[in-house]
Structure formats: C-alpha cells, structure tokens
C-alpha cells in the first residue's frame, strides 16, 4: 500500500497536513490578500497552509505597523513582538515552513506553494497557452511593481514628511492617483485584448488575485472604475460574483480597502509638518 503522496520534499521537508505551512498575514495588507485569494481559488486545503493573523498598531505618523501575534510560539521564540525580528522587511505575508525556513513576498510565496502541490493538480491558476500565461504575469507585475509601491499609504506619508513631497490628503494624493490611473490605463488596454469573463480569459488566474486588492485600493482613493476603466470594471463585477472571492473580501473587510492609516495621528503629524 502506497503512503500519502509527499510533495515539496526538501532536505526531509514534506508538504502535508502533518507538517503544514503557516502564513502570517493581515487583512490590512494587499499583498496578504493576493496570497489568500490564491489559496482559496486554487483550492489549497486549510490544513496544508494555516493562516495566522499578525497584530497591528500605528506609529506617531499614523502609519500602520504590523506586529507579531501575542503568545504565538514564534513570538516567544524571538522574544519580541517586533516583526522586524521575524522578517527584516517588516511586512506581511510571511510563509513559515515547519523546518523553520521563511519566504516573503506574495509572488514567491505563491510560486513556492504551487511548486509543492502534486503534479497535475486541478484548478491551475495559469493558462496553458504560453502567451496567455505571459499576459497573466504581465498584469501581476504591473500591479506588484508599478502600482502598489507608489500608491502605498506609508510611502506617501513618509515622502511628505521626510522627502519634501507636496502635502495633500494621503488617500487622494496626486502622486497616488497618478500611478493608479497611469498603470490601470495600461492594464485596461491589455485586458481589452485578453480579458474574457475575468482578467485573462474565462477562468480565474493569478492576474485576478493581484488585481482584486489593487482595485480595492483604487476605490478607497475614489477612482471611478466604471467611468475610467470599463473593461476592468466589468471584470471586477464578474469577480465579485464568484462566491469564493466575495467570501475572502468579506473576511478582509469588504470590497473597499477598509484601513489605510490612523487619520487622527496623521493630522497631528501633518500640523507639525506645516509648522516646520
């Protein structure tokens, strides 16, 4: 009798329900949402990748700061709730293997989990056609590299406070709106060529997992999705009609990004900037 198929073997490591991965994440993190959407849409059993929410605080500028969960074995191991001691990037998501290895960044985390799944597993998140696979990756990396970093609220606040950038409300800062509109315009044109029911074709792909969190941020920035990006808006409405996606969004606080910074602390900080 053959034993349960072992996948993801690496120096004795086995990806199985007996030795699950742990994903440290937070609902306020767009990058975390990408990975959780992937896990749910891909059908990865919760017993294989267990979710652990980090905690959240804010600094004197009102910027979000992720911290290790109180009482977690990993928190006890490192002796502090400072996330930097667990991940030098200070960000989530973080994938922890049972052998102690850690992987960060949403793309590599997804790639690693995908590589650990059994060969031929159904519900693949990439099309078979090489060109369409490339289109999926193109949309993914436009979001991850050309939009998210420049519209990120902590970046906007820090740039205003430390680097002399024009002062404006963070959520609708001109720089933020510029990068969202510029790159959404590019994605809109791409999707006019490759979208079906969803971003690339008629099946949910990794492009959708990356685009959904970014649209939530755009809605928070008061972008008129339907008026400015009609193809993307149509795809968005189709995605909201998928039960697994709407369920994840409900877990993460809704279809609009719910938490970006502490407005009261930021106002105090902004007044100090104005008087400086």
- Report the domain count for the chain: 2
Evaluate if residue 276 carries a pLDDT over 90: no
**128: pLDDT confidence band, cut at 50, 70 and 90?**
very high
- Specify the pairing of strand 49-53 against strand 21-25: parallel
* Domain end point (choices 116, 150, 175): 116
pLDDT at 8 over 60: no
- 271 and 134 fall within a common domain: yes
pLDDT tens figures, 142-185: 999 999 999 999 999 999 999 999 999 999 999 999 999 999 99
The answer to whether residues 142 and 225 belong to one domain is: yes
Query: Lowest mean pLDDT: which of 209-223, 234-248, 255-269?
Result: 255-269
Helix runs in the chain, H state only: 30-42, 73-78, 106-116, 130-141, 148-151, 153-162, 174-194, 206-220, 225-228, 230-240, 243-251, 263-275
Backbone angles phi, psi at 176, to 5 degrees: -60, -50
Q: Is residue 177 part of a domain?
A: yes
CB-CB contact of 225 with 236 (8 Å): yes
State which of 94, 116, 138 marks the end of a domain.
Answer: 116
Q: Are residues 12 and 89 in the same domain?
A: yes
The predicted pLDDT at position 267 comes to: 92
What tokens does 62 get?
């009102």
Cα separation of 275 and 273, whole Å?
Answer: 5
User: 186 pLDDT band (50/70/90 cuts)?
Assistant: very high
Residue 120 confidence (pLDDT)? 61
Q: Do 86 and 15 belong to one domain?
A: yes
What burial letters (b/e) apply to 91-115, b meaning 16+ CB within 10 Å?
A: bbbbbbbeeeeebbbbbebbebbbe
- Does the pLDDT value for residue 236 go beyond 90? yes
């Amino acid at each position: 009798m053959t034993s349960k198929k072992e996948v993801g073997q690496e120096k004795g490591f086995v990806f199985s329900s007996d030795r699950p991965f742990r994903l440290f994440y937070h609902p306020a993190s767009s990058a975390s949402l990408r990975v959780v959407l992937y896990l749910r849409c891909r059908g990865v059993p919760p017993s294989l990748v267990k979710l652990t929410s980090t905690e959240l605080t804010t600094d004197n500028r009102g910027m979000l700061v992720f911290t290790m969960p109180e009482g977690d074995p990993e928190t006890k191991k490192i002796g502090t709730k400072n996330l930097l001691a667990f991940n030098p990037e200070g960000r989530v998501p973080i994938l922890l293997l049972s052998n102690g290895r850690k992987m960060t960044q949403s793309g590599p985390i997804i790639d690693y989990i995908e590589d650990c799944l059994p060969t031929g597993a159904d519900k693949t998140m990439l099309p078979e056609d090489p060109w369409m696979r490339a289109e999926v990756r193109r949309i993914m990396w436009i979001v991850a590299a050309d939009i998210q970093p420049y519209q990120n609220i902590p970046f906007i606040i820090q740039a205003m406070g430390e680097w002399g950038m024009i002062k404006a409300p963070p959520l609708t800062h001109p720089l933020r709106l510029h990068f969202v509109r510029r790159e959404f315009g590019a994605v809109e044109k791409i999707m006019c060529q490759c979208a079906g029911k969803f971003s690339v074709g008629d099946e949910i792909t990794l492009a959708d997992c990356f685009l959904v969190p970014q649209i939530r941020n755009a809605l928070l920035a008061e972008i008129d999705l339907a008026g400015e990006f009609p193809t993307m808006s149509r795809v968005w409405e189709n995605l909201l009609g998928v039960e697994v996606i709407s369920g994840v969004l409900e877990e993460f606080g809704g279809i609009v990004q719910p938490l970006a910074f502490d407005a009261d602390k930021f106002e105090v900080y902004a007044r100090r900037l104005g008087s400086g």
